[in-house]
Copies of this chain bind each other. A is one copy, B any other.
Amino acid sequence: MNTLAEENYLKSIYHLSLNAENVSTNQLAALLNTKASSVTDMLKKLADKELINYTPYQGVTLTPPGEKIAINIIRKHRLWEFFLVEKLNFKWDEVHEMAEEMEHISSNELIDRLDRFMGYPKYDPHGDPIPDCDGKFKVHDLKPVSAIEINESGIICGVRDHSAGFLQYLEKQGLTIGKKIKVEDIIEFDRSMILQMETKTVQISREVANNLLITL
């Protein structure tokens, strides 16, 4: 099996791969809160294990086995987050750090039973898709609120920023997963947006609009 550090590197490479073909040493160092030199060492180790394709100075990609491991860790992370919110009544901004530990519990039998126990949820508390036991999941096509025009509407289905502060802010505004919103106006000056909701109207900055994801 793989060490905790190896698993965290694979997971990070997977996440960064969604935005760029090749993942760079510095991107990993920033995400993992470590130094570039430490990253280089680990990349050599993962390349030796054939979990990544590594060309010095050129960044890395996951091999199929490496991707499989990464997706399995993400599956565990999101299922545990779902458990913490749905069964233990934690709030969506409280669960990430705990899930960071729990995702490394090794048993797949355990996670498959947890999945069944919860009724095979498709999305985690932040709207992210939960891979099934074969690693398959829908990548539903979300766009930031900032990408739609006046009078267009959508349903909140995810967030780009997972920080507790941002999630708490959204919670307070009632901007949570599943809520329907419609753009009532866009302020010229700073392009902040006025959103019409079920029972009220809220104004959000461009920054927030960029990090709040919807389906049409």
Give residues in A with beta carbon < 8 Å to B: 84, 87-90, 97-98, 101-102, 104-107, 110, 113-114, 117
Measured between beta carbons, the chain B residues less than 8 angstroms from A87 are 117
Measured between beta carbons, the chain B residues less than 8 angstroms from A101 are 104-107
Interface centre among A84, A88, A106 (most CB of B within 10 A): A88
* B107 close to A105 (CB less than 8 A): no
Write the nearest CB–CB distance from A86 to chain B, whole angstroms.
11
Write the nearest CB–CB distance from A192 to chain B, whole angstroms.
36
Closest B residue to A97 by beta carbon equals: B107
Closest B residue to A104 by beta carbon equals: B101
* A90 close to B113 (CB less than 8 A): yes
Measured between beta carbons, the chain B residues less than 8 angstroms from A104 are 101
Within 8 Å by CB of A98, from B88, B90, B97, B107, lies B107
Measured between beta carbons, the chain B residues less than 8 angstroms from A89 are 113
Complex Cα distance, B114 from A84, in Å, reads: 9
Q: List 17 interface pairs A-B (beta carbons < 8 Å), by A numbering.
A: A84-B110, A87-B117, A88-B110, A88-B113, A88-B114, A88-B117, A89-B113, A90-B113, A97-B107, A98-B105, A98-B107, A98-B110, A101-B104, A101-B105, A101-B106, A101-B107, A102-B105
